[in-house]
Amino acid sequence: MITNHYGHTVDSEVPTTGVFQNNLVEWLHDEISGLDAISLDYERCLNSFVDEKVLEIQKILDEMDGETMEASVNDIRDICEMLANPGDNIDCQDNLTSLIGFERTIVKEEAWYWLDVLKYGYKLDEGAEYSAIVGEIYTQVIKSKWLIRCQLCSPCYPGQGNADSVGEFLAYSLPPDMFEDGNELKARIFTKKDYCTQNDGDCSTCSLVNYGRDCMNEEVKP
């Protein structure tokens, strides 16, 4: 089924971004720590910090004369030392948004997030098991080998799938090992098999499944 969801065309058989409520993903924070996720908030603070210090250096250079040269050079040296060790000098209060399955790029056109002063950004890591933006309350899964069937989200996330609800639309999912065994979400997550040729890997609704076996006579687990 193809529908228009708040201005975005969505095909129920083509995976879209999956949105998960963080408090329903038991091992999410362990995953963030274990994978050394990128703190987008820190990167933005770093971008602002470097911009501020570069402007300070420029102001010193503009105002420097023969009488103030020695003091100005010392001030610039101090600023450069701060720039060399930014982690010791940045006061970043927020740490609410993390990136998983992203990698750094210097090509602005391919970046999902771009930091103008630092002249680099972050793009999807094509080799990652999944790529996701982890916010304070929700996680958006942009790409993944894992899939889930769900309804579409509220207008806050147009064109994206609400993984917490059962439905017919296909969305990218977090890996099942991020959920406890009794979690209903875990039971609904599946992956497309290498030999699959139809139904986007969803054996639960595939016409080729008979007597609990798929098209290659492999057991289909509920």
Residue 192 has pLDDT above 80, yes or no: no
Among candidate residues 25, 3, 21, 89, the one with its CA nearest the CA of residue 53: 89
- Of 3-7, 55-59, 66-70, 80-84, least confident by mean pLDDT is 66-70
Annotate 193-216 with three-state secondary structure: CCCCCCHHHCHHHCCCCECCECCC
Q: For residue 149, what are the β-bridge partners?
A: 170
Element (H, E) at 32: helix 28-34
pLDDT at 191: 87
The pTM assigned to this predicted structure is 0.79
3-state DSSP assignment of residue 120: strand
Q: Supply angle C-alpha 168, 174, 178, rounded to 5.
A: 125
Share of the chain above pLDDT 70, in %: 89
Residue 133 has pLDDT above 90, yes or no: yes
Annotate 47-116 with three-state secondary structure: HHHHHHHHHHHHHHHHHCCCCCHHHHHHHHHHHHHHHHCHHHCCCCCCCCCEEECEEEECCHHHCCEEEC
Q: What is the mean pLDDT of residues 46-72?
A: 88
pLDDT at 171: 96
Instruction: Answer with the residue of higher pLDDT: 161 or 191.
Output: 161
CB-based contacts of 60: which residues, under 8 Å, 6+ apart?
A: 72, 75, 76
